[in-house]
Structure 1
Amino acid sequence: MANSTIIAIAGASASGKSLFASTVYQELVAEVGGDCIAVLAEDAYYRKQDHLTFEQRCLTNYDHPAAFEHGLLAEHIKQLKAGQTVQMPQYCYKTHTRIDDTITINPAKVVLVEGILLLTDAHLREQFDISVFMDTPLDVCLLRRIRRDMEERGRSLDSITEQYKNYVRPAFFDFIAPSKQYADLVVTRGGKNEIAIDIIKTKIRQLLAQ
């Protein structure tokens, strides 16, 4: 399947990107089936860090564009557009590096891509047909991040707050917030904004009907 439409969903960490993307995906899959829609996660493209000790990996700035292998992500998007299957990497948040397993992503009429720094990379922006920015207040994002990282990723409160202060918050103002200018649609109130979800779903239905 060639000429896929690529929809980027960007925004701050814990702004609701994954929830927004998964809600759109799940609701449309229930309507049209899973063969027409695929999802890529920017987090899967964090660089391999097997050459570093665990202590060194803990010091990596995971909110800086250099932490991602955006070139590989851009190449995978191109391959999906060309009708080719790709192997999306898998990243472990507890060991801070990729694992050997990959996930097979088949080409689809519509591909959703979600991640914090998608709109900061000019080469990636060239691949996107529609760009969405989740504009969620930082205090809300922080509370969500604390709950997520403690419950799902085994982090301590001290490590979460230190990482937020030293890396996450500065990166938001340096990279993520300025990238909002490239969005076609800015979504407030997080990943449960039903109006925004319906807008994207309606657009996707139109694309699938073509």
Structure 2
Amino acid sequence: MNTDNPMNTDAPMSAGTRPAAELFPVADAHLDRLRAGIAARADEEGVLDVAYRTLGTPVGTLLLAATGRGLVRVAFEREGFDAVLETLAERISPRVLEAPARLDAAAAELEEYFAGQRRGFDLPLDHALSSGFRESVQRFLPRIGYGRTRTYKEVAESVGSPKAVRAVGSACATNPLPVVVPCHRVLRADGGLGGYIGGLDAKTALLRLERAA
């Protein structure tokens, strides 16, 4: 082996060339406390506009995000969390930070829901990502009772636009607060699932959960 080759990657690294993480290992718990401290200080100083965290659930990991007004986003992993956070930064504020404590109440209610112990959510919601007809539909959806379903046509009639069946489908497909705002309870007229932002497996699982409770 030619140890004179400056490109030789087998040669041992000197202390000056080793990655800082190897020279000064930091425990995960310490990093978590550091992040929590940064988030708390940002919140105290009013520079935390969007807080987020992730939550493991029976339908996969969810990303939860909230503003000072309330829960603004629930995202499935298939949507791409990085893309979701970028959209929040663009449409709401670039001051986005992982701050789990801000989402403790939302996480607790979702855990109760998935455990079959909760049938409705008592969380303040921020509809900043919706507007117009879509927002009207999304605000109506929580009125569909737990374990019940409506068709897209029935929802269109309920919001005063009986011919806007496709627009109702679009409002459900773009719902930024799935699970909490139950677009999974809206089905096609023939009983088919239709679409779902979290995928049809997730929609099926949510409907089964509510029927079993």
Q: TM-score, normalised by structure 2?
A: 0.25
Greater per-residue strand proportion = 1
Q: Higher Cα Rg: structure 1 or 2?
A: 2
**Relative contact order higher in (CA < 8 Å, ≥ 6 apart):** 1
Q: TM-score, normalised by structure 1?
A: 0.25
Greater per-residue helix proportion = 1
